[in-house]
Amino acid sequence: MIIPNVHGITHKPKGGLRNNQPPEEPRKGRNTLPSVEGKEMNKKQIGTATICMAILALLLGAPLSIQPAKGAADIVALKTQNPVVVDGIPSETFWSQTQPTVLSLAGTTVYGGKVPEMWVRAAHDGKNIYILMQWPDTKESRTSGPARRLNLSTPGNLIGQYHANATHYYADAGLVTWWMGAQKPTVIPATNNEMGGSPTRRASLFGWTASDKAELWAWKSSALDMGNPYWPYAGLDVGVTTWHWGDNTGKPYTMPYSAAYQGLFNSTGYWILGDGLLHSKGCQQPGTKNFEVRARGVWNGGMWTLELSRPLVSSPENRPYTLSLESGNTYWAVFGAQDGNKGEWEEVASRSNWVSVELSNDLFPLEKQMQDVVAAAGVASKAAGDAVKSAGDASKVAGDASKVAGDAVKVAADASKAAESSVKAASDASKVAADAAKASESSVKTAGEAAKGADAAAKNSADAQKVSQDALSAAQQAIRAAEDTRKTAEATTNLAYGTIGIAIAAIIVSVVMGLRRRKP
């Protein structure tokens, strides 16, 4: 028997595989499974991831190792913030950060159980859930012959069996049954993917009641998957290249991407979602959406690796028939597989017990540590920014202080200069005061002499007053004499003007008389 690592590379275990018993605690005692070795094409990626993990370990002071996801559930789907490609090649770094949950598988009927064990991991990104399933299969089977039933199961008598040999066999398949009830199911786990409503297709075979229902994903290697021999056609029926019915009738039946069947599984049958998906309307739920479950299976070296994905909440058309998932909650599921080369098909399969699946709010370890590093870097960057700002403020304060000191030095220099000027002024004032004292002495002497002169002047003033009065009286007499002279002169002038007038008149008369005597 062989055991896979996360990349689908296989190796032999050191000890024998466990017997085919359902596990009470699926993760207990399974720390030897699987290692993270990687394909040749992924060595660079693994090396880069290892370096990054080591750097982060040094930064955070915490060792990095692959650990089982913490939680009370059997399978814990941690959260990733990285893009995921559903291609059957688990190259995303987060897949290698947790140990898988190892499930022991049992037959859905006494002729099932050909796949003894399965390794399951889960993740989500807040919008979609991702399931990674790996199981051993010695031979890849991508085609399926007509179903040849040898034994028919009935309720309480699960003896279903199909004919298979080296030339007649069936396609390999991977299965997930999601319980749609609120409590842990008590009914027998089932993965019956025979489509429609015949007695062998009903959950009632396994003790389910009318109120019990589940959402069943059925990935089949021969149809809808990119690896089917007829890709890009769906591969449902050999040679069928157009849609049989529905809105797409007559159009090329090509696949938009690799997918799995999705349907409602209950006590009446298995009802496929997606109008026109099958050749018969009777096996489908009308008015529902196609290809909501993406899936891709890759067989390599005796091991199937299957990736599946579905939105946490289905489309409005499919929502009444599916389980809505929410981060922080726990759900119940059955994981199974069919080895078509060994006669497993539809009713007959290998399946796990009911296992709990928790959608955790926690990030994968490396992403969480990276987030912490980014957050710490943000805090450090802010602190550095604050320090730079503080240094700038301190520099400004120092500059202001330097300016104040410069101003103080200038004021001190001006004060010193003013003090020198004051000393000089005081010296000049002292000299002026001495000169003033000397001038004052001279002034006192001059004042004494002036006083003597004033006495003499007073005496001379009395004499001058008398002379002045006599002069005034003489002046008044002169004025009166001048007035009389003026009047006499005026009379003489008038007399002269009269005399001149008489003389002129006499001349005129004389001229006139002379002129008269000259006439003939």
Question: What is the structure's pLDDT at 83?
Answer: 94
pLDDT computed for residue 394 by the predictor = 78
DSSP for 166-208, written as a single string: SSS----EEEEEEE-SSS---SPP------BSSGGG-GGGGT-
Cα dihedral across residues 420, 421, 424, 425: positive or negative: negative
| The predicted structure's pLDDT at residue 473 | 72
Kindly state the average pLDDT of the residues 78-98.
95
User: What integer is the mean pLDDT of 481-495?
Assistant: 69
pLDDT of residue 65: 42
Q: What is the mean pLDDT of residues 173-188?
A: 95
β pairing state of 261-266 and 213-220: antiparallel
Of 10-19, 141-150, 275-284, least confident by mean pLDDT is 10-19
Among the residue ranges 111-115, 286-290, 407-411, 504-508, the one predicted with the least confidence is 504-508
Q: What is the mean pLDDT of residues 444-459?
A: 62
To the nearest 10 degrees (0 to 180), the angle between helices 365-517 and 43-60 is 80
- pLDDT tens track for 354-386: 999 999 999 999 998 888 888 888 888 888 888
Q: How many alpha carbons fall within 13 Å on the CB side of residue 5? A: 15
Residue 271: the pLDDT is 93
The answer on pLDDT for 334 being more than 90 is yes
Q: Evaluate if residue 279 carries a pLDDT over 80.
A: no
- Residue 75 has a CB neighbour count (10 Å cut-off) of 25
In the chain, how many H helices and how many E strands?
A: 2, 19
Does residue 339 carry a pLDDT above 60?
A: yes
How many residues in total does the chain contain?
Answer: 520
Strands 128-136 and 303-311: antiparallel
pLDDT at 31 over 60: no
Six-digit token pair at 264?
């409602």
Q: Which pLDDT belongs to residue 411?
A: 73
Distances (CA, A) of 189 to 28, 105, 177: 21, 11, 8
Residue 8 has pLDDT above 60, yes or no: no
User: Coil, helix or strand for 476?
Assistant: helix
Backbone angles phi, psi at 481, to 5 degrees: -70, -35
Phi, psi torsion values for 219, nearest 5 degrees? -90, 130
Return the top range by mean pLDDT from 47-51, 101-105, 140-144, 510-514.
101-105
Q: Token match 């500059």: residue?
A: 399
252 — phi, psi (to 5°)?
A: -55, 130
In angstroms, rounded to a whole number, what is the distance separating the alpha carbons of residues 76 and 101?
A: 9
Q: How confident is the model at residue 419 (pLDDT cuts 50, 70, 90)?
A: low
Predicted confidence band at 286 (pLDDT cuts at 50, 70, 90)?
confident
Q: Which residue has the higher pLDDT, 177 or 69?
A: 177
How far apart, in whole angstroms, are the C-alpha atoms of residue 438 and residue 262? 131
pLDDT of residue 20: 36
Mean pLDDT of 206-226: 95
Is the pLDDT confidence value at 343 over 80? yes
How far is Cα of residue 99 from the mean position of the Cα atoms in its chain? 31
What pLDDT, on the 0 to 100 scale, is given for residue 317?
A: 95
**Lowest mean per-residue pLDDT among 78-87, 228-237, 289-298, 476-485:** 476-485
Whether the CB-CB separation of 366 and 49 falls below 8 Å is answered with: yes
pLDDT top residue among 53 and 496: 496
Give the burial string for 191-208 (b: 16+ CB within 10 Å, else e): bbbbbbeeebbbbbbbeb
Name which of 271-275, 304-308, 407-411, 475-479 the model is least confident about.
Answer: 475-479
CA 442 to chain centre: 101
Cβ–Cβ under 8 Å, residues 98 and 13: no
pLDDT of amino acid 302:
97
- For 288, other C-beta atoms within 10 Å of its C-beta total 24
Residue 47's pLDDT is: 47
HEC profile for 362-414? Answer: EECHHHHHHHHHHHHHHHHHHHHHHHHHHHHHHHHHHHHHHHHHHHHHHHHHH
Q: How far apart are CA 168 and CA 340, in angstroms?
A: 9
519: pLDDT strictly greater than 70: no
- Max CA separation in the chain (angstroms): 205
Report the pLDDT value the prediction gives residue 481, as an integer from 0 to 100: 72
Please compute the mean of the pLDDT values over residues 332-351 and round it to a whole number.
Answer: 96
Q: How confident is the model at residue 478 (pLDDT cuts 50, 70, 90)?
A: low
Q: How buried is 96 (Cβ within 10 angstroms: 0-12 exposed, 13-18 middle, 19+ buried)?
A: buried
Alpha-carbon Rg for the chain, nearest whole angstrom, is 64
pLDDT band for 509, please (50, 70, 90 cuts).
Answer: low
Average pLDDT of the chain is 80
H or E, element range at 122: strand 117-124
Tokens 């004060």 -> residue: 415
Given this model, what pLDDT does residue 484 score? 77
Query: What is the percentage of the chain residues whose pLDDT exceeds 90?
Result: 42
For 505, the token pair is: 């008149």
Give 222-248 pLDDT, tens digit per residue. Answer: 999 999 998 998 887 777 888 877 778
Q: Residue 58 above 90 pLDDT?
A: no
Q: Which residue has the higher pLDDT, 450 or 224?
A: 224
| DSSP state, residue 77 | E
Residue 10: per-residue pLDDT: 46
pLDDT value at 494 more than 60: yes
The highest-confidence range among 216-220, 264-268, 275-279, 283-287, by mean pLDDT, is 216-220
pLDDT at res. 389: 86
Assign 448 to helix, strand or coil.
helix
- Measure CA of the first residue to CA of the last residue in the chain; give whole Å: 197
| Confidence class for position 283, pLDDT limits 50, 70, 90 | confident
Judge whether residue 105 has pLDDT over 50: yes
**Are the beta carbons of 144 and 171 closer than 8 angstroms?**
yes
